[in-house]
Structures are given as C-alpha cells and as structure tokens.
Amino acid sequence: MGVIASTELYRIIFQTEIIFQMNLEQYSVEAAKDFLEYNFYSEGPKGRIKKLIRFTKVEAPSFTFYNLGFGDWDDITKTINDFVITNNRDAERVLATVSATIVDFTDHYPNAFIYAEGSTISRTRRYQMGINKYWKEIEPVFDVFGLTENEGFMPFEKGMNYLAFVAIRKKVNFISEKMEG
C-alpha cells in the first residue's frame, strides 16, 4: 500500500462500520465499564423484562475464550436464567441486540474467541438460523466456526447442523476512497 499524499483527501473507513449494519431494530443497551456485561430490557405482551449478556473468560489448557451467557435477569437469585421462555414476541429484536453487543465487545477485546451454545438444542438451532439468515453481513466481519459431533470445530457452512459456535473478529480491513473536493 502506498503513502497517502497530503494534498489529496482520503477517507479511511472501517469495513465493520460499512458492512455490519443489518438495519434491524435493537434495544438500548447498558455496558459495564469492562464491557464484560451488557443489559437491556425486552418489551412486549409479557411486560418489561431485564435481559443480561455476560462474556465470561475461560482459561482452557491450550487457549483462552469468552463464553457468551445470555438470558433473563433474575433479581431474586441474582443470576441469568437461560432456560426461561419469555415469549415477548421480540425474538428478532433481542437477537439483533445480542449481536450488537458481540460487535461492541470485540471492539474492546478484538482478539477474543467467543463461544456460544444455547441452553437447549432448540436455542442453539435458533442461533444457527440467525447466523444463516445474516451470514452475508457476518462473514466479512467475523470468522465463525461450528462444533460438530465427529469433526470438532470447523469453518461455518450454511446447511450444516452444529452443537455450538465460536466467533473471532477478523482483523480490520480498510477501504480507502478518494474524496472529490
């Protein structure tokens, strides 16, 4: 890549800012100072329900990853309930919000491996359906791997069934555009 001449105006744009705009409605989110927890409220026919997303660092013998925990916040037990079925008729908006927190989390932890597995088979399948649906937007920004029963982790492919997922943010690619003016 050549040196940008000071007399020409150039605009450097992060690829993620261009591509990872799925134009899906999301909830407003509050992030913890360390960006390991995020919370928001789901709103629908079942009321206003607090949701919590937690990235928990796990030190494995060969590498470190962050487990993505997500569910309804239980004020009594002070834990995330990831088995409850809220049925607030906002699943797409909730998943879009969780996806946005993954992007934000990887803005602060760009080398983090994120492990995600549903608390049930049907929830894992729901996550997979979301990845499939938005693969065109996800693939330029994240390397995604699916866990198979026989082959371990392999690069994500549409049409395959997986037990869990790992995602890592791709290294930043820049697009340089000469601006007229």
Q: Is residue 41 part of a domain?
A: yes
Phi, psi angle pair for 22, to nearest 5°: -80, -5
Report the pLDDT averaged over residues 119-132: 90
**pLDDT attached to residue 83:** 73
Question: Which value, to the nearest 10 degrees, does the dihedral of the CA atoms of residues 60, 64, 65, 67 take?
Answer: 50
How far apart (Å, rounded) are the C-alpha atoms in residues 47 and 44? Answer: 5
**Arithmetic mean of pLDDT over the chain:** 83
**pLDDT attached to residue 179:** 52
Report percent pLDDT > 70 for the chain: 82
**pLDDT attached to residue 60:** 87
**pLDDT attached to residue 114:** 97
Q: Which domain holds residue 97?
A: 10-178
Say whether pLDDT at 110 is over 50. yes
- Confidence class for position 6, pLDDT limits 50, 70, 90: very low
**pLDDT attached to residue 21:** 54
pLDDT digits (tens, 9 = 90+) for 130-160: 899 888 888 989 999 999 999 999 999 998 9
- Beta strands (DSSP E) in the chain are 10-14, 30-31, 37-44, 47-59, 64-74, 79-81, 113-116, 142-148, 152-155, 164-169, 174-178
Q: Is residue 4 part of a domain?
A: no
Q: Is residue 106 part of a domain?
A: yes
Q: Is residue 5 part of a domain?
A: no
**pLDDT attached to residue 180:** 55
Say whether pLDDT at 16 is over 50. no
Say if CB 88 and CB 43 are below 8 A apart: yes
Q: Is residue 92 part of a domain?
A: yes
Report the pLDDT averaged over residues 119-139: 89
Q: Is residue 147 part of a domain?
A: yes
Q: Is residue 56 part of a domain?
A: yes
Report the pLDDT averaged over residues 7-36: 64
Q: Is residue 1 part of a domain?
A: no
Q: Looking at the 3D structure of the chain, how many domains does it have?
A: 1
pLDDT digits (tens, 9 = 90+) for 47-63: 999 999 999 999 988 88
